[in-house]
Structure 1
Amino acid sequence: METQMWIDKGIQLVMEYAPKILLAIAIWFIGLWIFGNIVKYARKIMEKRRYEAGLRNFLATLLSWALKILLIIVILGTLGVETMSFAAVIASAGLAIGLALQGSLANFAGGVLILIFKPFRVGDFIEAQGLSGTVKEIGIVNTTLTTFGNQLAIIPNGKLSNENIVNYSAENIRRENIIAGISYDSNIKKAKDILLDIVNSKEGVLRDPAPMVIVNELADSSVNLSLRYWARNEDFWDCRWYVLEEMKNRFDSEGIEIPYPHQVEIHKEV
């Protein structure tokens, strides 16, 4: 009799839960198929918008896990499990993790914004957070620069996305502005002609827009001339170094004095 009772209870449980289990299995496989197509469609949209490969993979994985968690909650509800308490536990855990990782989440959000809006790309020369260098890698949390001295600089994306960034590689050409101070006794027109001759003779300095020299300031001990010219990014530093060296040599040979600080001593007899 006892054996028959257990058999009856087993049959009763199977009859009660078997449809729910079968329905849960069906929901799982159908849900995986539907959500898989959603993730594929999301990947295609991100590819069309030219998101970075790392960002595409990360967002697709995040979307996939979020949909799977939603699917599990739906299946638990189908099986008769109270899902409200389960969702509350997940929300509480998410809040606790968010508070504990507040700084990391800010860096993560900054990384997502950088990868989406692309203020710079790998290979660009930028200046940010008091550092300048070539972008080596853009990660989800940090951005890595190779500085001029070949040091590796790691900048958190949270700060990088909220501060000013100067991207020197965003445009193909750059304008230089070199200040040349000459003495008040020197000939301004002659100095301007010398500066223009230097840049016009240098290969790499663009002719359009044309170079120009203006009187920038009448300072305390010098007349400051501003030499402005344009060059391509790859020629910029070579042109600058050449102009600075030639300016000193030509001014010396042409008798144009470059003033330097003087110290005057006054002796008073008592």
Structure 2
Amino acid sequence: MTDLLDWFAENQESILLFSGNVVVALFIIVGGFMLARAIANILVKRLDKSNIDNAVVSFMAGIIRTIIMVAAILMALSHVGIQTTSFIAILGAAGLAVGLALQGSLSNFASGVLIMIYRPFKSGDYVDAGGTAGTVQRIELFTTVLKTPDNKLVIVPNSKITGSEITNFSEEPIRRVDMVIGVSYKADLKKTKDVLMNVITSDERTLQDPAPRVAVTALNDSSVDFIVRPWVKSADYWPMYWDSMERIKNALDENGIGIPFPQMDVHLHHPEGEAGVLRVVQQKEES
């Protein structure tokens, strides 16, 4: 007991200094934790106003809070005389190893964060992204789930989506339906144009602003091509396209306007050197 009291008496100044450092270190840890929570709350409030996905907000707030807390713990350990250089080196090496092992997943994660921040599409949109066309079901941190028109669920890695073109068919309220109709060279162009225009303008789904358009677009080998371009609401695009193609065919038949088929000439060479020509027609005679 006497030896212990003597040791305390001899090291009283060092003990008091160490105790003070421990108290300061505790204050650093508590203050760091409080600062981490405050900054995370401020970040959440700021990001909530920008309509960023809640999953991204929570994850980013958690990352910031963890970084500040780790920094506070390292500062506290350093203040009591513990060397933190080795800890930092170990954390750096571990982070590098994890990053190399999960570089594909990290790429998908970073892409998921970008998608949720910049929001090129949202759940319910019909998009063509990452080589797949479908309706967006869910946007997750690593993948995006699409449902194709034939009712298949396709899970697309987010890095594949951000690394390619993204076409959002649902972003705008209206779309233009593009159809190309070929008619015979014998057809009356003005009459044909009137027939095509009447087909699309008589459909109540056709918008008047922007105005629909019908015009000659090409003089091909066997047909005169017309572009037929009505504007419709995005939800009416495919029904309008399918119905218009059927109605156009019926209207052209009713008005005696022919739709040409391709034809070709076949040359037959006889062994005696006499040549004959046989015309093979791959079309029905126009009425």
Report the TM range for the smaller structure's normalisation: over 0.9
Shift of 1:240: 0.9
- The structure richer in helix per residue is 1
Superposed counterparts of 1:1-270, under 5 Å: 3-6=1-4, 9=7, 15=16, 17-269=18-270, 270=272
- Distance (Å, rounded) in 2 between the aligned partners of 1:74 and 1:225: 75
**In the TM superposition, what whole-angstrom CA distance separates every residue of 1:26-56 from its partner, at most 9, and x where no partner exists?**
2222221122111100011101111111111
Q: Which amino acid aligns with 1:202?
A: D
Distance 2:264 2:116 in 1: 55
Deviation at 1:6, TM superposition (A): 4.2
Tell me the matched-pair count.
268
Asked whether the 8 Å contact 2:36–2:66 carries over to 1, the reply is: no
CA distance in structure 2 between the partners assigned to 1:262 and 1:6 by the alignment: 113
Q: Which amino acid aligns with 2:98?
A: I
Paired AA for residue 204 in structure 2: E
> Do the aligned residues in 1 keep the contact of 2:174 with 2:234 (CA within 8 Å)?
yes
- State the distance in 1 between where 2:119 and 2:2 align: 71
- Following superposition, the deviation at residue 162 of structure 1 comes to 2.1
Cα RMSD after superposing both structures: 1.8
- 8 Å CA contact 2:180, 2:226 repeated in 1: yes
Q: Unaligned stretches of 5+ in structure 2?
A: 273-287
Give distance in 1, aligned partners of 2:91 and 2:143. Answer: 28
Structure 1 residue 25: deviation in Å?
Answer: 2.1
The percent identity for this pair of structures is 37
Distance apart, 1:16 and its partner CA: 5.1
Give the C-alpha shift of residue 230 in structure 1.
0.7
Q: Deviations over 1:79-121 (max 9, x none)?
A: 2111122112111211111111111111111111111111111
- The 3-state SS of whatever aligns with 1:193 is helix
Asked if structure 1 preserves the Cα contact closer than 8 Å seen for 2:29 and 2:69, the reply is no
Which secondary structure state, in structure 1, belongs to the residue aligned with residue 178 of structure 2?
A: strand
Q: CA–CA distance in 1 between the matches of 2:264 and 2:240?
A: 34
CA distance in 1 between partners of 2:34 and 2:159 (Å): 36
Q: Does the aligned pair in 1 maintain the 2:125–2:168 contact within 8 Å?
A: yes
Q: TM-score, normalised by structure 1?
A: 0.93
Distance 1:145 1:268, change over 3 A: same
The structural deviation recorded for 1:260 is: 2.3
Matched position secondary structure for 1:58: helix
Q: Which string of whole-angstrom CA distances, capped at 9 and with x for unpartnered residues, describes residues 182-220 of structure 1? A: 111122222211111111111111011111111111111
Q: CA deviation at 1:10?
A: 7.0
Question: What letter is aligned with 1:188?
Answer: L
Q: Distance in 2 between matches of 1:7 and 1:184?
A: 117
Q: Deviations over 1:207-262 (max 9, x none)?
A: 11111111111111111110011111111111111101101111122111112233
Task: Tell me whether 38-47 or 129-138 shows the greater mean CA deviation.
Answer: 129-138
Deviates more, 1:253-262 or 1:211-220: 253-262
- The SS at the match of 2:177 is strand
TM-score normalised per structure 2? 0.87
Matched to 2:3, the amino acid is: M
Which runs of no fewer than 5 residues in structure 1 stay unpaired?
none
Alpha-carbon distance change, 16 to 194 in structure 1, aligned in 2, over 3 angstroms: same
Q: How far is the alpha carbon of 1:265 from its aligned partner? A: 3.7
Once residues 116 and 7 of structure 1 are traced to their aligned partners in structure 2, the CA distance between those partners, rounded to angstroms, is 64
C-alpha change, 1:240 and 1:9, in structure 2 (3 Å) is farther
Work out the CA distance in 2 between the residues paired with 1:51 and 1:10: 59
1:88 alignment partner AA:
A
- Which of these two proteins has the greater Rg computed from alpha carbons? 2
